[in-house]
């Protein structure tokens, strides 16, 4: 079989995450594990393998020295496809197009089986070529990154218990993109050096209830609607966090004037930069402020019943430097209504910031240049979404988030959406990146 054929077979296995563990298809994950073992025989005969937290997989490739190891993360699970209209069946892994436009359409093609299978291809090829790594290499494959991350938490705890202190941890995250930074024409490898915190707060209103035919002047649902609108009209303040400042400072040498000068002097130009980035679009706005958006609304159980409790779920993504306590204060001030309760359902603080200088950064950026193009500029950036990597920050400060795929805007927009896909040539180049990193 070819690498692409193996990739397609693994994409066809619907390892879908569900928030309720009882709804997860255990047979799909068992089939995925069996397929990995069959498709990558050298990995499974020469690396140590253990199952952690029921479905996560942890591999150790022993090195020749006791120097600090490399840890590569990926996740087996994918998000659901129900309610989405796909041009091609989401688990058929169909190849569409010709030549450089050949594209694999499948849920998980990018998020995150693209990286997972590319890693396994790189390791299998290296084993076949007789490579023995200088340091230990760990492969940690979580099973519920899209929901709770319990597999990653368990594997990180296990490594900590064993005293593993990696030189470098690499997870999914940024990609090679174009146009991500205003004024920079060169393709950029966006390497996440930090990620925002994630939390869910509930706005809750209560009343006595009763029949909908005789509503009060301010029912619980109306009070809640007013609170939701007040929150929308009072966004979090703008701020240039250290990872974003580093991204702009690094990009300055590649930006057309006068933007290069503006980026280079971010401490002085921060007010101008933050206002401009907030207006460019949703992604750049999320780089310069904590964001909050209502994603779920709950009211009465029936159409003719007044809600005794109305609830709005607020998804919050915390900018580096903000805390859950800061968020609670902002929500209270924005809502400005003592009859609206604000409750933290669950949440995590922003991750620590990994260095964008030093040996680990040089190792990554050199591998990018050698395998993805000498014209590709490695940029530190603040990852907007959450990943399993946040659970590994207690093991080392060198935790990075990057998948070695050159993605268009449309391809990035398809993550968690219909028509997720990756170009075949792009995916194959990703294998070369991981192979080079293993031997760096």
Enzyme catalytic residues: 77, 145
Q: Which two structure tokens, joined as six digits, stand for 38?
A: 């069959």
Angstrom distances, CA of residue 159 to CA of 65, 152, 154, 184, 286 = 18, 11, 9, 40, 33
Query: Taking the mean position of all CA atoms in its chain, how far away is CA 402?
Result: 9
Task: Count other C-beta atoms under 10 Å from residue 156's C-beta.
Answer: 26
User: In the block, which residue shows the tokens 């159980």?
Assistant: 301
Give the CB-side neighbour count of residue 318, counting CA atoms within 13 A.
22
CA pair distance 174, 157, nearest whole angstrom: 25
Q: Which residues pair with 184 in a beta bridge?
A: 255
Count, residues in the chain: 440
Cβ proximity of 234 and 332 under 8 Å: no
Nearest to 58 by CA among 191, 157, 173, 190: 157
Upstream peptide bond of 172 is cis (omega within 30 degrees of 0)? no
User: Torsions phi, psi of 128, nearest 5?
Assistant: -65, -30
Q: Residue 288 has what DSSP assignment?
A: S
Q: Please state, as a whole number, how many other Cβ atoms lie within 10 Å of the Cβ of residue 116.
A: 24
Q: Are 151 and 144 in contact (CB under 8 A)?
A: yes
């Amino acid at each position: 079989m070819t690498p692409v054929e193996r990739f397609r077979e693994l994409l066809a296995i619907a390892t879908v995450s569900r928030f309720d563990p009882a709804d997860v298809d255990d047979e799909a994950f068992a089939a995925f594990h069996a397929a990995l073992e069959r498709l990558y025989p050298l990995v499974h005969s020469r690396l140590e393998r253990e199952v952690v937290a029921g479905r996560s997989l942890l591999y150790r490739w022993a090195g020749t020295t006791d120097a600090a190891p490399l840890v590569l993360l990926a996740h087996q699970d994918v998000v659901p496809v129900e309610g989405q209209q796909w041009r091609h069946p989401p688990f058929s892994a169909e190849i569409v197009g010709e030549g450089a436009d050949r594209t694999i359409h499948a849920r998980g093609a990018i998020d995150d089986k693209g990286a997972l299978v590319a890693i396994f291809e790189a390791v299998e090829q290296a084993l076949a070529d007789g490579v023995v790594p200088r340091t230990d290499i760990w492969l940690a494959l979580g099973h519920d990154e899209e929901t709770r991350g319990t597999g990653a938490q368990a594997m990180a705890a296990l490594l900590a218990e064993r005293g593993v202190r990696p030189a470098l941890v690499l997870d999914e995250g940024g990609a090679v993109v174009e146009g991500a930074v205003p004024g920079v024409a060169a393709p950029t490898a966006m390497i996440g050096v930090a990620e925002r915190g994630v939390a869910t707060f509930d706005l809750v209103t209560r009343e006595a209830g009763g029949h909908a035919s005789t509503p009060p002047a301010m029912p619980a649902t109306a009070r809640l609607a007013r609170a939701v609108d007040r929150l929308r009209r009072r966004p979090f303040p703008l701020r240039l966090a250290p990872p974003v400042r580093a991204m702009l400072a690094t990009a300055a040498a590649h930006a057309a004037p006068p933007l290069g000068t503006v980026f280079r002097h971010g401490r002085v130009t921060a007010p101008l930069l933050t206002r401009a980035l907030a207006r460019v679009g949703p992604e750049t706005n999320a780089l310069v402020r904590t964001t909050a958006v209502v994603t779920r609304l709950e009211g009465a159980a029936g159409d003719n019943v007044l809600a005794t409790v109305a609830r709005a779920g607020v998804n919050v993504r915390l900018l580096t430097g903000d805390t859950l306590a800061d968020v609670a204060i902002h929500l209270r001030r924005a809502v400005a209504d003592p009859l609206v309760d604000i409750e933290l359902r669950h949440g995590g603080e922003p991750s620590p910031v990994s260095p964008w200088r030093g040996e680990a950064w040089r190792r990554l950026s050199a591998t990018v240049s050698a395998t993805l193009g000498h014209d590709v500029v490695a940029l530190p950036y603040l990852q907007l979404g959450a990943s399993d990597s946040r659970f590994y920050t207690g093991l080392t400060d060198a935790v990075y988030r990057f998948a070695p795929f050159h993605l268009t805007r449309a391809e990035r927009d398809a993550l968690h959406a219909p028509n997720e896909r990756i170009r075949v040539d792009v995916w194959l180049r990703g294998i070369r990146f991981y192979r080079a990193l293993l031997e760096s």
